[in-house]
């Protein structure tokens, strides 16, 4: 990756049913959470702001939990609506000249076809700031060239960025918007990690297979 900016925003972003919370001890779930978040005295909204992305053709539905103030519900349930994005950004910038540690716990949804597409930890210096976003589904809310669920390709992506993807769904079919992982070992049902540049500016990729 070319050197971007010394000071970059931090993003946790994902598609479909995901929950995000800093790590501590587990306690019983409430308020409709599928699993209990780790216990913590941290209030996430003191340190993070919800994604301000405002796409015209798919929803950004992330919200801080009222039952668990340490948690962000990144997207809503699949039964409510598919093809969602969501996330949160750090209120503080990170100086990449210095080492840093960041620890969280993630819930990606149940195994199998109902699992979330994944989540990405993104360092960025996009002009849109907390409003930066990419395409849903295989685009993990960070990359271009997935669709909005209605067959419309999304070229929007997070600029000046580097993503560490935690991908729980292998996008390797021959469908035009589902080729992000086509040239990599099949990790269906087991997930994979990756380090990805969402795109150059101006954007040079034209298909999901070229993202990376």
What would the pLDDT profile of 94-117 be if each residue is shown by its tens digit? 999 999 998 888 888 776 666 668
Whole-angstrom distance, CA of residue 24 vs CA of residue 104: 9
Q: What is the pLDDT of residue 16?
A: 31
The residue segments making up the domain with residue 5 are 1-212
Whole-angstrom distance, CA of residue 43 vs CA of residue 56: 30
Q: What is the pLDDT of residue 32?
A: 66
Q: What is the pLDDT of residue 187?
A: 86
What number of H helices and E strands is found in the chain?
1, 11
Residues of the chain with pLDDT under 50: 1-28
Whole-angstrom distance, CA of residue 70 vs CA of residue 46: 9
Count structural domains, the chain: 1
Q: What is the pLDDT of residue 114?
A: 63
Q: What is the pLDDT of residue 4?
A: 34
Q: What is the pLDDT of residue 181?
A: 92
Give the other-Cβ count within 10 Å of 103's Cβ.
Answer: 7
Q: Evaluate whether 141 touches 117 at the Cβ level (below 8 Å).
A: no
Q: What is the pLDDT of residue 11?
A: 38
């Amino acid at each position: 990756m070319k050197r971007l900016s010394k000071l970059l925003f931090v993003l946790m972003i994902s598609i479909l049913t995901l929950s995000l919370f800093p790590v501590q001890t587990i306690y019983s779930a409430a308020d409709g959470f599928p699993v209990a978040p780790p216990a913590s005295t941290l209030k996430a909204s003191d340190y993070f702001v919800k994604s301000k992305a405002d796409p015209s053709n798919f929803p950004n539905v992330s919200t801080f939990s009222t039952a668990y103030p340490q948690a962000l519900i990144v997207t809503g349930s699949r039964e409510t609506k598919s093809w969602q994005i969501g996330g949160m950004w750090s209120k503080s910038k990170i100086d990449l000249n210095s080492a840093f540690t960041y620890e969280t716990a993630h819930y990606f949804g149940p195994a199998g076809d109902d699992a979330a597409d994944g989540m990405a930890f993104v360092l960025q210096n996009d002009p849109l700031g907390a409003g930066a976003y990419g395409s849903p589904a295989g685009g993990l809310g960070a990359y271009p060239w997935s669709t909005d669920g209605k067959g419309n390709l999304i070229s929007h992506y997070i600029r000046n960025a580097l993503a560490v993807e935690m991908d729980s769904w292998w996008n390797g079919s021959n469908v035009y918007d589902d080729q992000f992982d086509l040239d990599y070992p099949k990790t269906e049902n087991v997930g994979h990690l990756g380090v990805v540049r969402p795109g150059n500016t101006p954007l040079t990729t034209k298909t999901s297979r070229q993202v990376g």
